[in-house]
Amino acid sequence: MSDQQPNNPALEALAASGLDHRVVRHGRVNSLQEAAEIRGVEPGQIVKSMVVKTGNVFGIVLVPGLRKISWPKFRAALEVNKAAMPSAEEAKELTGFERGTITPFGTKTKLPVIADERIGPGDISIGAGDHGVSVTLDAGAMFEYLNARLLDVTDEE
């Protein structure tokens, strides 16, 4: 039996990637703690994916649970003066995913990935393109596959 449902480009991309991963399906969650419990991981192992815009360049930033993007650190690490999150519509247009379901896997537009250096090592849980769907996989393997840049871009929430 296949782990993917029709029309989920994230799960299709993961299946084609060769990355060892486990799909976890659950209903919508209301907090990071609830998501961690349902997924069987610690809150710090959950990784949030966010689209960020610097000038006319877009990318995906991976943020560990219990942390948030530090805009000053982010701008300094990328040596840019301005950075922001685009509108929900713009993010969906680029990725094919609505906010809350964005993932670096299977996006409509291939986007560069920046990962906070605090993610991993070991297994992490990341959203997989639909509400209530996530995957657990090795952080290092994910970074390598996505050619992610590891930078210090977050602060504690």
Per-residue pLDDT, 90: 96
Per-residue pLDDT, 122: 98
Residue 63 lies in a domain: yes
Residue 5 lies in a domain: no
Residue 76 lies in a domain: yes
Q: Is 33 exposed, middle or buried (0-12, 13-18, 19+ CB in 10 A)?
A: middle
Over range 80-106, report the average pLDDT. Answer: 96
Residue 75 lies in a domain: yes
* CA distance linking residue 1 with residue 107, whole number of Å: 24
Domain residues for 126? 14-156
pTM (2 decimals)?
0.94
**What domain count does the chain have?**
1
Q: pLDDT averaged over the chain?
A: 94
Residue 7 lies in a domain: no
Residue 61 lies in a domain: yes
Residue 123 lies in a domain: yes
Q: Which residue has the tokens 């006319």?
A: 56
> What's the pLDDT tens digit per position in 137-148?
999 999 999 999
Bridge partners of residue 116, in order along the sequence? 151
Question: What is the per-residue burial (b if ≥16 Cβ within 10 Å, else e) of 38-72?
Answer: bbebebebbbbbbbbbbeeebbbbbbbbbbebbee
CATH number assigned to the domain comprising residue 132 = 3.90.960.10
